[in-house]
Amino acid sequence: MKGMTEAIGQLSKLAHPGLPVTIYYAFKQSESDDKTGTSSTGWETFLEAVVKAGFEITGTWPMRTELSNRMVGRESNALASSIVLVCRQKAEDAPTATRRDFITALAAEFPKAFARLQETNIAPVDLAQAAIGPGMAIYT
C-alpha cells in the first residue's frame, strides 16, 4: 500500500492542474492478505492511494487488453479487460462529503453510469470490475 500511495502521490505532485492524468489499472477480483492478517481488494487499496495522493477520479474507460485465447492457469482469476482512470488534482478547498452525501450521490448517479457501461462492448465477466470505476469517481 505504501509504495502505491507514494507512486500515485508523485504523479499528483508532478501533474499540471489544468490537465488530466490517466492511470491504467488492472487487478483481479481476488483478495490479497497483508502482513496484519486483514484482507482488502486491489480496488480498495488503489482507491485509498488515489485519495491520499490528492486526486479525484473524473472518468473511467474499460479496455479489452487480454487475448480471449490466452492460456489461463488453473483456478486463475483472469480479466478480459482493464480500466483506464482519468484523474485530476482535487481542489484544496473541495468539500468533504458525509457518508449520507456519498450514498445519496451514488444512488442518483450510479444507475446512469452503469447503464452506459452496459451499452459498451465490455465482457460480461468484467462488468462488475468495470462498474467499480464510476463508483470510485462518485466517491472521490
Higher pLDDT, 111 or 95: 111
For 105, what's the count of Cα atoms within 13 Å in the CB-facing half-sphere? 14
Quote the pLDDT of residue 33: 52
Span 64-101, pLDDT tens digits: 666 555 555 445 555 556 778 899 998 888 888 899 99
For the cut 80, the answer to whether the pLDDT of residue 63 exceeds it is no
Quote the pLDDT of residue 120: 81
| Top mean-pLDDT range of 17-26, 66-75, 119-128 | 17-26
In whole angstroms, what is the distance from residue 128 CA to residue 84 CA? Answer: 15
Retrieve residue 25's grid coordinates: 489499472
